[in-house]
Copies of this chain bind each other. A is one copy, B any other.
Amino acid sequence: MKREKILEELSLKTESKIVLFVMDGLGDLPLEGKTVLEAARTPNLDRIASAGACGLTDPVFMGITPGSGPAHLALFGYDPTEYILGRGILEALGVGVEVGRNDLVARGNFATIRDGLIVDRRAGRIPDEENAELCKKLNAALRPIDDTEIRLFPGKEHRFVIKFHGEGLSDRLSDADPQKENLPPAYAQALSAEAERAARAANAFIDQVTELLSDSPRANAVLLRGFATYPTIPTLGDMVKLHPAAIAQYPMYKGLAQLVGMDVLPVGPEYEDLFLTVEQNFDRYDFFYVHFKKTDSYGEDGNFEAKKTALEAADVLLPRLLDLNPDVLVITSDHSTPSLLKGHSWHPNPFALFSRIAQPDAVRTFTETACAQGYLGRFQAKQALALMLAHALKLNKFGA
């Protein structure tokens, strides 16, 4: 019997409340002998770790560095090696494009073509403003193809997201991108019969764009890759009867939360807005995913000090979550982003579960090595959902 099926059968609808506070990229490696968690002053995190049960989680499996997509799916209870999110979907979520059941999305580049060959896959990295202008112009001029509507969403420099909206669009398409320069552009190929309608739409779009941009000096062609339809993931409501809310300030995380059926709540731009939004909506939901971004951003920048300051700022605000008296409060990260590595890494996430009925362990500080000594041990992140549900008394007994 599969884990998801067991959870589905055992889960109960109750009034109890779970708060999952995700400090993105929190896990770290020592710089001058200390990790950010070891160097920072975090009395509230330490209090939560002392009172709760701690451990370390692997988002995918040991040694695997996850992107934000798989890392979050795992935290939401899904096996990230089973639910694979297409690149197009992740890109769309990242720039805040809403994607629905009848949408097909892909990542796009504006490119430069000359004498039938792609001479620059990035059209000279045109400025964002030029990109936005081009998308606007194309959106106004593009004609639907077979009742399929097409819309471009500008990203940074030469990048955009394209969304095809219509019935029967499959993502079983090859990239319309030769990947290298000095080659002719490529059409999308249907990789199975059901994708022929989508291939027709993608290729007619390419032809329309090439015509519309024929007098443009640099951005006169498009490359499309990572075609993806809306993934079929059971919602947290269907799977475990939760009524969940997401409180996140960046599009990628709002998008990921929406994929698993969370209500994405409006939230202001400051750290404290995250906490205010939980407070204001605490009666309305039974599960709150709260996403704190800056620990990851500064880790990516290799800025140890700024990561530490962001962490300390979050720590100061944590009592506001405790004051709400949730049945379960989990503090963890989706993946590690050590400033030493300036990027995501495979190192496991510190994890603290605070609940009236958690087993307190010997862990007294919320750090990587302290959590390694915790009662929860080292476990796969996808297991955290059942732990949270259990401590909120939202799971029936398995068997008699």
* Chain A residues proximal to chain B, CB less than 8 Å: 1-3, 6, 10, 29-30, 35, 56, 60-71, 80-82, 84-85, 87, 90-91, 94, 338, 340-341, 343-347, 357, 359-362, 368-369, 372-379, 383, 385-391, 395-400
Do the beta carbons of A85 and B399 come within 8 Å of each other?
yes
Select which of B61, B360, B398 is within 8 A of A64 by beta carbon: B398
A-B pairs, 10 with minimum CB distance? A63-B386, A377-B378, A67-B399, A63-B390, A70-B399, A67-B400, A372-B375, A90-B400, A63-B387, A346-B390
Q: List the number of copies, as a whole number.
A: 2
Complex contacts, A376 vs chain B, CB 8 Å = 62, 378
Select which of B84, B343, B360, B389 is within 8 A of A369 by beta carbon: B360
Do the beta carbons of B386 and A84 come within 8 Å of each other?
no
From A2, A6, A62, A81, residue with most partner B Cβ within 10 Å = A62
Do the beta carbons of B383 and A62 come within 8 Å of each other?
yes
Complex contacts, A386 vs chain B, CB 8 Å = 61-64, 346
State in angstroms the CA–CA spacing of A388 and B345 once bound together. Answer: 13
Beyond A369-B359, A378-B376, whether A6 also contacts B56 by CB under 8 A is no
Do the beta carbons of B82 and A1 come within 8 Å of each other?
yes
Do the beta carbons of A64 and B29 come within 8 Å of each other?
no
Select which of B3, B63, B377 is within 8 A of A383 by beta carbon: B63
Do the beta carbons of A70 and B372 come within 8 Å of each other?
no
Complex contacts, A61 vs chain B, CB 8 Å = 3, 383, 386
Do the beta carbons of A347 and B368 come within 8 Å of each other?
no
Do the beta carbons of B359 and A395 come within 8 Å of each other?
no
Complex contacts, A35 vs chain B, CB 8 Å = 359
Complex contacts, A67 vs chain B, CB 8 Å = 397-400
Do the beta carbons of B64 and A395 come within 8 Å of each other?
yes
Do the beta carbons of B362 and A398 come within 8 Å of each other?
no
State in angstroms the CA–CA spacing of A35 and B357 once bound together. Answer: 12
Select which of B69, B368, B387 is within 8 A of A62 by beta carbon: B387
State in angstroms the CA–CA spacing of A30 and B63 once bound together. Answer: 32
Do the beta carbons of A379 and B60 come within 8 Å of each other?
no
State in angstroms the CA–CA spacing of A347 and B94 once bound together. Answer: 38
State in angstroms the CA–CA spacing of A60 and B397 once bound together. Answer: 11
Do the beta carbons of B359 and A80 come within 8 Å of each other?
no
20 A-B Cβ contacts within 8 A? A1-B81, A6-B81, A10-B64, A56-B375, A65-B390, A67-B399, A70-B399, A80-B398, A80-B399, A87-B400, A90-B399, A90-B400, A91-B400, A361-B369, A362-B369, A368-B375, A372-B374, A376-B378, A377-B378, A378-B378
State in angstroms the CA–CA spacing of A60 and B29 once bound together. Answer: 30
State in angstroms the CA–CA spacing of A80 and B3 once bound together. Answer: 11
Do the beta carbons of B359 and A368 come within 8 Å of each other?
yes
Residue of B nearest to A390 (CB): B63
Complex contacts, A30 vs chain B, CB 8 Å = 359-360
State in angstroms the CA–CA spacing of A62 and B53 once bound together. Answer: 13
State in angstroms the CA–CA spacing of A64 and B397 once bound together. Answer: 7
A382 CB to nearest B CB, Å: 10
State in angstroms the CA–CA spacing of A68 and B71 once bound together. Answer: 34
Complex contacts, A399 vs chain B, CB 8 Å = 66-71, 80, 84-85, 90
Complex contacts, A338 vs chain B, CB 8 Å = 357
Select which of B60, B71, B343, B398 is within 8 A of A70 by beta carbon: B398
Do the beta carbons of A359 and B347 come within 8 Å of each other?
yes
A1 CB to nearest B CB, Å: 5
A142 CB to nearest B CB, Å: 27
State in angstroms the CA–CA spacing of A344 and B399 once bound together. Answer: 11
State in angstroms the CA–CA spacing of A397 and B337 once bound together. Answer: 12
Residue of B nearest to A388 (CB): B63
Residue of B nearest to A89 (CB): B400
A30 CB to nearest B CB, Å: 7
